[in-house]
Structure 1
Amino acid sequence: MAVVHVVGCGIIGAAVAEFLSHTDFEIHVYEQNSAPALGATAAALGVIMPVSSGKLVGDVVTLRLESLRYYDALPMANETAGVLTLCDRPSDTKMEQRRQQRAAQGFVLEYWDEERLRDICPQIVANFGVYSPADRAVDGVKLAHHWVGEATTRGVQFHWQTEIALEAVQGWAQSDQVVLTNGLGLNHFLPVPRVQPVGGQAVRLHCPDLAIAMVVHWLTNDPIMPDLNLVPRGNGVFDLGATVEFPPYVLPQLLHPKRLLASAQRICPQLHDARILSTWTGDRPRPLQARSPMIGFLQPNVLVATGHYRNGILMAPITAAIIRDLIIAGHSSYPWQFLCPDFLSPQTQKFKRT
């Protein structure tokens, strides 16, 4: 039986493990932490909104929309009532173009003027919004645990609190297959860093009188927080974030949670009554001088699938599907070569079975 070693068990590693668990491979997953999704995944708000995106066509749009479709079958991925993006009103031509393109792709976009916003979201102060019922927020930690549980029942072996050295990867690659999904940890296996940490902070609020069931997304003029999301979690609890803090930085910056809340209060005055329950920080893996994410062959029998930056939860299913295809057949029907940076090989090659 061929053996696959997956290094890293954040949302990407968990997805890869679950997708591969439907094959006849012997699968081992290694994670340096004591449980799945304790790194970048734990810090993510989990907002996935490819339908709302201004990008209408292209390979990256194809992958994001296809990945979104995987979530419709997951009960834990349907806990919010869509995403409302607050914005300036575009021209009628642009609105119709976007609506028609998304309809052709199988999705609905609604345009809400000020009156409609007042009717549906009276606590939001805005002139215009774009509503996408298919976009959503997903609890990445809960989902990772779900995928780990599913994979475990099919025989996948998880090794917690286990750090993997380069020598181990090189040894496995002589006869087995290796998938590196370990985010910033990828740098340990490379002669020069290829992934940088981008810090982010978020705030959990309690505001029992705020009645919003959907994710609210808006742009700001603040370079530390260029766009923000207010995510309902139930029982008057909301998550707000996140900042985007490039190196060099020192987290946490105590001022930034207050800046987050001040921005949210401008579009939702009810949040003046909010109480901060907690704040948290995390680093997101962003490729250096390469597209996000990075997929490709580091060497024969070693695949890289990491560097998803702010799209890890969105792209986890499609990434896992591509990795599964490459391991089984050496190619995938999904477009992926454009995500292969220059230090990886896009050459498709069926993994050797032993």
Structure 2
Amino acid sequence: MNTLLVTGGAGFIGANFVHYWLNNYQQDKVIVLDALTYAGNLANLAPVQSNANFTFVKGDICDQALVESLLKEYHVNTIVHFAAESHVDRSITGPDAFIETNILGTYSLLKAAKKQWLDKPLENGSDPIEHRFHHVSTDEVYGTLSATDPAFKEDTAYAPNSPYSASKAASDHLVRAYHHTYGLNVTTSNCSNNYGPYHFPEKLIPLVITNVLQNKSLPIYGDGMQIRDWLYVEDHAYGIDLVLNKGRVGENYNIGGNNEWANINIVKQVCQLVEQQFKNNQALAKRFPLAVAAKEQSTESLITYVTDRAGHDRRYAIDATKTRDELGYEPRESFETGIAKTVDWYLNNESWWIAIMDGSYQDLVV
């Protein structure tokens, strides 16, 4: 039996990981630490809140004393570190929060882990506690690719281009250093773009779905031909599961969806899926009367092209060969099944995203 401390577990990917873990490891205990900033939402954890093996703690990863107390009180032997500021646009307009959370927050966690798992046992004449510190990173640390460049591998040189990706790269290096310098048992995973349930509505796919349902424009950066590799969020959780159970300590593992799409094509695909749902289910027109699909009009008419984002990376692509060969990883969800599940989830969980939408996202572009 393990006890996991999941940082950022009330966010999109973290919450989906918590659901996955408690469903698949019913004897394990999961402690979620989340500051509940704008993207953290307790409603994301509603499916597990009655689980006796689940505990939620509101707190900041920069609070080292709090982290130490949680590691000690709950006998935590595994940290899965999701907590991060992650929206590139926000990092351009307000980078301070990204430096604070992504770099200093990770540093605080590493210090707490080293103290509780390595230093204190040695001071007491005991062996270090069996442990794992898993750090969740992003493909954006590798920079950008041209249309013909090979996909990112684990040994691709880091070349971050935004304050967000630079802060994640810095945290990756700190995790690596704590392994090589102090012997902390760490692993790192670098993932491609996630999508699925509980995705905060400022991100591409949920923004398209919710804007279409509210008859709002779909503003697209530049020509919309920025390419991303898309990964269903539960497949990401599965990949981390494999890294925790089979991954070699000190190693990085890429987790990707083998699924590259241009942004504009993603937008059109989602529009078509929403239209099909309205054709198949007449009740949707009554629930979402503002949607152009309710009037049997083209949702693609909402697409608007706007000035490209500063320093916008053109293409990301993950080569997950190492993760496949060493750990047996393959995405379980195809994009066709994953995106259909995602659209269904947003159509069936209107109360979740309406509670979040307060008008501050209407000017976001993708």
Normalised by the length of structure 2, the TM-score is 0.30
Question: Which of the pair is proportionally richer in strand?
Answer: 1
Task: Determine which structure has greater relative contact order: mean sequence separation of CA pairs < 8 Å that are 6+ residues apart, divided by chain length.
Answer: 1
Normalised by the length of structure 1, the TM-score is 0.31
Question: Which of the pair is proportionally richer in helix?
Answer: 2
